[in-house]
Amino acid sequence: MRVVGDFYAYLWPGVTMAEMQEYGNNSNTYLVANALPGNKHVLVDPGMVTNETKRNCLDRLVAGIQSDGLKIEDTGLIINTHAHPDHYGASEEIKRQSGAQVAISAGDDDFLKLMSGEMAEAIKQMGFDMPELNPDFYLSEGELRLGQDLVATIILTPGHSAGHIGVYWPDAKVFMGGDLIFSGSTGRVDIPGGSAQMLKESIERVALLDIEYIFTGHQYGSPGIIQGRDEVQRNFDIIRRSIFPYL
């Protein structure tokens, strides 16, 4: 689904309880079309290959991209906002199909290494898989230049995970926030690497940006895209008032 300009959204169903129950968990995926030479696309948070309900999330993403006249094979870069499997899980498979470069923050790659081996086995016993991720490069806070004239700002937004990043596109005023902030709520802070204080600070930093669209990581009972300056500010206000006191 095209949202604005070359920005596309592939939202995982979950706005209603019935959808959440039927579809299970997976992240929203965002695509910036033709951002790289050779009309290659940038994909942010590809989601999982399959999720806990045995749904093929990647097939659904591929079909969604296709319905917009684009192809997953034309992915040139995959950016992972953080190292949770529901966000990065399909990275290696899409890399295999497209030859895309894969990126994540160094902090969250360290977390992934920590979670490998025996820890991964323990997590698997609990019903979760930790798919492989072999990043080609790390993203730190700073400028990400794509092609000739597209610029994104990578912002370190720890809180949901220690090395969580957000991607801000100043020209389009789009902020892709992973699991930092949702419509009316925030990401969890009770997963290893999480921190309530850091999450609050990250949200306050992002609130200073000039944002028209927040592309969130999930539709947990609310729409995945927060649109319009006033709506974005209202969302920050609600979170400060209703969520921060309980974090």
Partner 1 sequence: MSGDGDKIKSALDIAMEKADRLGALSEGEKQRLKEEELEAAGEALAKRYLGGLPLGDVEAEVAGRDEEHRATIIRHLLAGLADTIDITQDGGSDRTLAAIEHFSGDREAVQGIRALFGEYLAAADGASHGNLDAMAEGKRKELESKGISGSAVKPATETSPEWLRVKEGLEAEYQDRLAAIKARWASGSP
Residue (11 or 70) nearer to partner 1, CB: 70
Residue (156 or 211) nearer to partner 1, CB: 156
What is the nearest approach in angstroms of partner 1 to the Cβ of residue 87? 18
What is the nearest approach in angstroms of partner 1 to the Cβ of residue 89? 18
User: In the numeric block, which tokens belong to residue 192?
Assistant: 């290893």
Residue (167 or 243) nearer to partner 1, CB: 167
Strand partners, 102: 78
What is the nearest approach in angstroms of partner 1 to the Cβ of residue 60? 27
Q: How far apart are the C-alpha atoms of 132 and 102, rounded to whole Å?
A: 12
With CB under 8 A as the contact rule, the residue among 77, 83, 198, 232 that binds partner 1 is 77
SS3 203: helix
Q: How far apart are the C-alpha atoms of 202 and 242, rounded to whole Å?
A: 17
Is 52 a binding residue for partner 1 by CB under 8 A? The answer is no
Residue (72 or 77) nearer to partner 1, CB: 77
CB 100 within 8 A of CB 72: no
Is 61 a binding residue for partner 1 by CB under 8 A? The answer is no
What is the nearest approach in angstroms of partner 1 to the Cβ of residue 107? 11
Q: How far apart are the C-alpha atoms of 78 and 88, rounded to whole Å?
A: 9
- The sign of the torsion formed by the CA atoms of 90, 92, 93, 97 equals positive
Q: How far apart are the C-alpha atoms of 22 and 117, rounded to whole Å?
A: 32
With CB under 8 A as the contact rule, the residue among 154, 198, 206, 226 that binds partner 1 is 154
Tell me 81's DSSP state: S
For tokens 């902020």, the residue is 175
What is the nearest approach in angstroms of partner 1 to the Cβ of residue 167? 10
Q: Which residues touch 54 (CB under 8 Å, ≥6 apart)?
A: none
Q: How far apart are the C-alpha atoms of 55 and 52, rounded to whole Å?
A: 7
Binding region for partner 1 (CB under 8 A) out of 3-11, 33-41, 55-63, 190-198: 33-41
Tell me 127's DSSP state: T
* Residues 93-152 close enough to bind partner 1 by CB under 8 A: 101, 103, 106, 109, 134-148, 151
What is the nearest approach in angstroms of partner 1 to the Cβ of residue 6? 14
Residue (101 or 185) nearer to partner 1, CB: 101
- How many residues lie near partner 1 (CB under 8 A)? 28
User: In the numeric block, which tokens belong to residue 10?
Assistant: 């592939």
Is 166 a binding residue for partner 1 by CB under 8 A? The answer is no
Q: How far apart are the C-alpha atoms of 207 and 90, rounded to whole Å?
A: 30
What is the nearest approach in angstroms of partner 1 to the Cβ of residue 136? 6
Residues forming contacts to partner 1 in the complex (CB under 8 A) are 35-37, 40, 76-77, 101, 103, 106, 109, 134-148, 151, 153-154
